[in-house]
Structure 1
Amino acid sequence: MATIPEDQERLRDLWRRHPVSRRAVLRGATGTAAALALTTGPWAGPARAQADGGRAVVGRHLSFGDDPRTAMAIAGEITARPEGAVLVDLGLDTAYGATLPVEVRNLVTPGAAEQYFAHAAATGLRAGTEYHYRFRLADGRLTPDAVFRTAPAPGDRAPFVFTAFADQGVNTGGGDFANRYRTDEGRTEKPADSLTALVAADRPAFHLLAGDICYADRPGAGKSDDEFDPGLWTAYLTAIERSAATTPWMFATGNHDMEAMYDDGGAGHGYGGHAARLDLPRTGPAGCPSVYVFTHGCVGVVSVDANDLSTEIRATTGYSEGAQTRWLDRTLARLRTDPAITFVVVFFHHCAYSTSDSHASDAGVREALTPLFDRHSVDLAVQGHNHQYERTDPIRGGRPTRVAPDHATVRSDTDGTTYVCVGSGGRASNGWLDGGGDRHRGAPGEDREIRSRVTGEGGEDDETVAWSRVRYRGYAYLRAEVDPGLPGGTASLRLHAITDGGEEIDRVDLTRPVPRLAVAARRPI
């Protein structure tokens, strides 16, 4: 199989010989946006305006800046080529008072679409403060008011919530690759939308998506083909706007996010399109745009690019030449020695530990990450790739240290890292490799060792594991409640697995002691 740089060179040669007509702009993408808007209510007006030659901003989404206490990235898609300045109004109330310039990033998908993405950087903000914002087009069109909140100031020990899932995709629009699911066993008709609605109702401090975002690249093998559909990005960002316009959605990259269709400047990872659509913190190693770290209160969060580490899907394996893992080692050490940070959470796509009949475990990811997690006492690893919910017992040295059933309390400083697969965000669900059933609250199953596999450079190896504790073959998200505790006391990270129907099927508490001398201030990472 051709590498991404080889595929991109082939495409560049093709495009030089067959340039794209800009008259075919947004053929797939904006058509999807209009179809969504006309049927989902809030964007009916903008969609009709666009059909009349007008413009609108759709798919608004937020991301933390490099310091979540003082910076927020605000983005959206403009449904037609902008004429005149695009601005963001920002303020402490709906009087706004400040105006931010907007950078418009043009993204051409040859033969398919031309898209325009609006990006504004809000900096110099106050920690722990709510801000109102709206987009304003040159013709006077406005988006509805939306509100976000910056991360808390140092020393603020108020509880907060964050959420997570992976492998979401879209329910409506997007042609032949819209999500397909079963609706048996009480599952909702459109679980990707149901989970977004549940996250929106939670109003978390931030949401983590552990890769495989919208599935514009259907095969997920890191090469271009005629199945790529940029309209799925528009459909996706429009679908998540009910949450992402007010809550920072923080993305990691999965195999379906390697888009060889776009020039990434020879980097070899296929993330050129993400640079136009998304804003991610620039706190990671050079050349790894989806690798970053941020802190929120007493929690340090790290996004890892498992495509660089995978021995199962090898289109971009090793592109960082080890820079990512060296940076991760230093970063985890810095987080763990920061007295203001209690919990360390790492999220990534390919699973280090899973018993799915789809991808199961990835030896490259396991070998690269788990020794670092052991060394630096990572509390929680959030994974995707396999389309189920699965939680392990705490693991150290490749083995479970104790049994942690539903409602258990895990002391992660002594027990080890808990690994949770939440590839249950909306794509058609997978089964279990051993043919066994689910095991969760309401379906206790059989307590036994489980037959699984791990995929390495030499192929697949069978393994029998005792670390798989909770399994659910359905759609679910992770709701994490953080109680920072008080100096000299105990902090808790309570994990809830909640289905697309709103039912809790699993809960576990991760705890850590809080040092008696808590440092109030720290430098941003």
Structure 2
Amino acid sequence: MNPEGETPDLGIPRRLARDMTVADQHEWIRAELRRRPITRRAALRGGIGALAGLALAHGPWTGVARAAETGLVGRHLAFGDDPRTSMAIAGELTGKPAGKVLLDLGLDTGYGATVPVELRELVSQVPRGEDVRGGEQLFAHARAEGLTAGTTYHYRFRLPDGSTTPDATFRTAPAKGDRRPFTFTAFADQGVAGNAGDGNGGAAPPNALTALIAQDAPAFHLLAGDICYADRAGRGERGDSFNPGLWTRYFAAIEKSAAHTPWMFATGNHDMEALYDDGDSGHGYGGHAARLDLPRTGPSGCPSVYAFTHGCVGVVSVDANDLSTEIRANTGYSRGAQVQWLTDTLAAFRADPDVTFVVVFFHHCAYSTSDSHASDGGVRSALTPLFDRFSVDLAVQGHNHQYERTDPIRGGEAAREAPDRATVRPATDGTTYICVGSGGRRSNGWLDDGGARYRGRTGGDREIRSRVTGKDGEKSETVGWSRVRYAGYAYLRVEVQPEVPGRIATMRVHAVTDDGEEIDRVDLARPVPGVPVVPPPAVPSVSPAPPPAVPTTPAVPAVPAGWSRTPTGLSVPAGSTGSSPPRVL
């Protein structure tokens, strides 16, 4: 049920944990902690420490000195239920504040609005033999509602002592019908740079990819599960056990992007943390409820399942832990509710004239030829018929630590070949599946001897030996749908070009390595339904000759009080310098 190293090590003896669901693990941990007369203070004393022990360098702060050295690190954004009008803003406190924490919000650095902040406490207690390791974290969350679509906002957190975080900005999703182009990015399986067991060392590659995404400044970023690997190497070793402090390091590492760009998370197998009493029957997402603030648009009891629309793209996050037949610790927990919700959501997207493209992201692969996990039969059987039925354009996957793109697939087979720089028409060709579990963890290899195939390396057999894991175990298969394979580190940069009815919209999908090199590209093209917008023909008209001009003095537009006129006829505030552009009235 839990392959070695594929679920967090929470102090449960391996002989027991391998056959436990997440709910079983949660109950074992609760019973073990009840059995021991250990106070909360003693638990905290035995582990990673309390809030101050989790603090990193606070970074540039403004305001008065903090006697208690309470700061806020790891700011990260997520869209609210409606990305056009709401944004969730979060961070982690490094100490308990002596009063209210607030969020300042506005159209410039004068702010002008104050948003209340909710504090969420997370206490971690991990049994280790007769000891308990533990820690305490405190997360600050603010929801900005009633925003204006397509607008840039400034924000900062303000602590009771008057100190503030640096100014940061975000932009809401465009208004309905807005056809301006935009970019989003994606990857999975990121982790923390230099963490024990990752085999990567230094700042690369997780930080290198984050830096590239920050440079792109996308409209949003998708992470298809396995976020920070709080269980370190995931091998279940005593010295490599669950450490919630890694979440602190993780959010600090992605802050350069996530403080300005919404990072939208799906959950993977390493994100099921059975430690927490999360009120969802022990599915292991209580830690996420404290740390993250995702849209609440999905089915009840599935906190990482949601959908949102940005411009002409509908996006869906699916929890593949509910569907997997490889790692079954959470399989079936939604009792079919997720699949029914997904069916309704995809139908609604396809009925919406403003949605051209549909993107679904999830962790376990429906299609992959990796030597690690390859394809998950449960995910494939649950999702791919729906993707065929509703013509999903792009499926973003993780779990296998490499980059792999399929030819467009329909009915389980490649509908056509799609080499590098090809144009795919999903409406007739099928769905393109991309595994981009190349976000930072140690790379996997391939099941066959065909090796890598990407730009500049196009050799190898087109018939590839692979496997799929179903209810009855692993089954070998020979496939022809694997088009591009790269075993290094990479992310997706997706450039969306909307169009008016009657024309062809495109999503240009680039695969970019941690060195910034493009190794693959595919264009997804879809006609926009509706009556073509054709301007009416010009009607010639004949007008009588105007009377002779009479010299007049040009009218002088009124100048607002406090403004001065420039030689160009534009008006600017009195006292303005040439360092900023004049405001046109």
Higher-Rg member (1/2) = 2
**Which residue of the partner structure matches residue 8 of structure 1?**
26
Match of 1:243?
Answer: 257
Residues 61 and 164 of structure 2 are in contact (CA less than 8 Å); yes or no, is this contact kept in structure 1? no
SS in 1 for 2:40: coil
Q: How does 1:251-270 map to 2 (within 5 A)?
A: 251-270=265-284
Alpha-carbon distance in 2 for matches of 1:92, 1:225: 48
Aligned to 1:522: none
The one-letter amino acid paired with 1:181 is N
Task: Give the aligned partner of residue 223 of structure 2.
Answer: 209
Q: 1:230 to 1:61 in 2, by over 3 A?
A: same
Point out where structure 1 has 5 or more consecutive residues left out of the alignment: 183-187, 520-525
Q: Which residue of 1 aligns with 2:377?
A: 363
Structure 1 segment 80-479 matched on structure 2, within 5 A: 80-110=95-125, 111-172=133-194, 176-177=196-197, 179-181=198-200, 190-218=204-232, 227-479=241-493
After superposition, the C-alpha distances for 1:202-254 in whole angstroms (9 at most, x for unaligned) are 00000000000000134769999971110110010000000000000000000
Q: For the structure 1 residues 223 and 76, does the alpha-carbon distance in structure 2 shift closer, same or farther, using more than 3 Å as the test?
A: farther
Deviations 1:106-148 (A, max 9, x none): 0001232100000000000000000000000001111000000
Deviation of 1:374 (Å): 0.3
After superposition, the Cα gap between the structure-2 partners of 1:345 and 1:267, relative to the gap in structure 1 and judged at 3 Å, is same
| Letter of the 1:5 counterpart | A
**AA paired with 1:353?**
Y
Give 1:20 shift. Answer: 2.1
Identify which range, 446-455 or 308-317, moves more after superposition: 446-455
Give the Cα–Cα distance (whole angstroms) in 1 for the partners of residues 228 and 483 of structure 2.
Answer: 29
Determine the structure 1 residue equivalent to 2:91. 76
Structure 1 distance, partners of 2:148, 2:335, is 38
Inter-partner Cα distance in structure 2 for 1:154 and 1:26? 50
Q: 1:428 to 1:222 in 2, by over 3 A?
A: closer
Paired position in structure 2 for 1:20: 40
* 1:13 CA displacement: 2.6
Residue segments in structure 2 that go unaligned for 5+ positions in a row: 1-18, 126-132, 534-585
Report how far residue 10 of structure 1 moved: 2.2
Letter in 2 for 1:449: E
Could you tell me which residue of structure 2 aligns to residue 63 of structure 1? Answer: 78
In the TM superposition, residue 337 of structure 1 has moved relative to its aligned partner by 1.2
Count of residue pairs brought into register by the alignment: 504
Tell me the CA shift for residue 495 of structure 1: 0.2
Contact 1:29 1:231 in 2 (8 A): no
Native 8 Å contact 2:232 2:240 kept in 1: no
Tell me the distance in 1 between the aligned counterparts of 2:481 and 2:299.
32
CA distance in 1, matches of 2:154, 2:469: 48
AA matched with 1:180: G
Q: Distance in 1 between matches of 2:271 and 2:236?
A: 8
Question: Are the equivalent residues in 1 in contact too, given 2:44–2:134 (CA < 8 A)?
Answer: no
Q: TM-score, length-normalised on structure 2?
A: 0.83
Q: In the aligned structure 1, how far is the partner of 2:59 from the partner of 2:39?
A: 33
Distance 1:518 1:216, change over 3 A: farther
**Aligned 8 A contact 1:5 1:266 in 2:** no
Amino acid corresponding to residue 156 of structure 1 in structure 2: D
The 8 Å contact of residues 452 and 463 in structure 1, kept in 2 or not, is answered as yes
Residues 473-512 of structure 1: matches in 2 within 5 Å? 473-512=487-526
- Distance of 1:347 and 1:425 partners within structure 2: 14
Q: Which amino acid aligns with 2:307?
A: V
**Identical-pair percentage:** 70
3-state secondary structure, aligned to 1:112: strand
Residues 432 and 412 of structure 1, relative CA distance in 2, 3 Å threshold: same
Question: How far did residue 201 of structure 1 move?
Answer: 0.3
Alignment partner, residue 523 of structure 1: none
Deviation string for 1:19-59 (max 9, x for gaps)? 3217649835857754x52xxxx72769xx88x73111100
Letter aligned with residue 187 of structure 2: F
Return the offset for 1:452: 0.4
Give the CA RMSD over aligned residues.
2.3
In structure 1, how many angstroms separate the alpha carbons of the residues matched to 2:331 and 2:182?
36
The letter for the 2-side match of 1:128 is: G
Q: Which one-letter code corresponds to 1:389 in the other structure?
A: Y
CA distance in 1, matches of 2:332, 2:526: 35
Q: Against the structure 1 CA distance between its residues 437 and 280, is the aligned structure 2 distance closer, same or farther, given a 3 Å change threshold? A: same
Kept in 2: contact 1:32–1:234 (CA 8 A): no
CA contact (8 A) 1:303 1:348 kept: yes
